[in-house]
Structure 1
Amino acid sequence: MEVVRITANLTVADIPSAAPFYRDVLGLSEVEFDLGWVTRLTAPDSGASVQLVSTDATAPAVPAVSVHVVDVDAAYEEVTALGLDIVHPLTTEEWGVRRFLVRAPDGTVVNIVRHAR
């Protein structure tokens, strides 16, 4: 699996209430996207980012991290061959990503994702 980037997903009760800390205190001023239930805030100079997540629109769990990969289909084959717990099957989501969620052996839910170009 070729990993391109890993983004922390912070579970928050209310994104509009949580966002000011990350924006005003940490300087993550650029909103890369906002779907209402997930927002990515980024530092414009460094590209450092965090995603604030209140729920997941289609999956039964909020993942702790999003692992961005070159080939999500190959990653899915690799993970299923290992017999790991698939929390959300390989899906092309309406917001433009192809992804699946897997539970790591330690119990952490991980979003394996490829964004559309």
Structure 2
Amino acid sequence: MSATPQGSAQWRKFIEAAKQRPEQLHCRVARSETEIVGFLCGRRDEVVTLGPMYLLDVARGQGVGGRMMGEFLTWAGTSPMRLWVTEYNVQAIRFHERHGFWTTTEREIWRGSLPNVRMTRDPV
């Protein structure tokens, strides 16, 4: 889902669905006084999948991502977890590593151009 009007409508639906099915869907939005500065969503199926997670540059280094991740990990409990991250986004990979995820050998090219790597977190 992207930042198009259609993509935004899809995310609104996902956020509303998460409110209705909190045991299966998780979505948090981080706000400053004037704008949305980040979001984190995930779902529980056979494993818990994190994604997407995004922070504006102005919110980085202020603990916003760590707080959202902490809520997500609490929600996920002891379930195994996985996510995709852009392979060259070293900052994001290090963030996830600090939260117990590790890089696997699984790769994909998302939408034909974006190299992603799978990260996973074992049950705690």
TM-score by length of 2: 0.33
**Which fold has the larger relative contact order, with Cα–Cα distance below 8 Å and residues 6 or more apart in sequence?**
1
Query: What TM-score does the superposition give when structure 1 sets the normalisation length?
Result: 0.35
Of Structure 1 and Structure 2, which has the larger fraction of its residues in helix?
2
Would you tell me which structure has more strand in proportion to its own residues?
Answer: 1
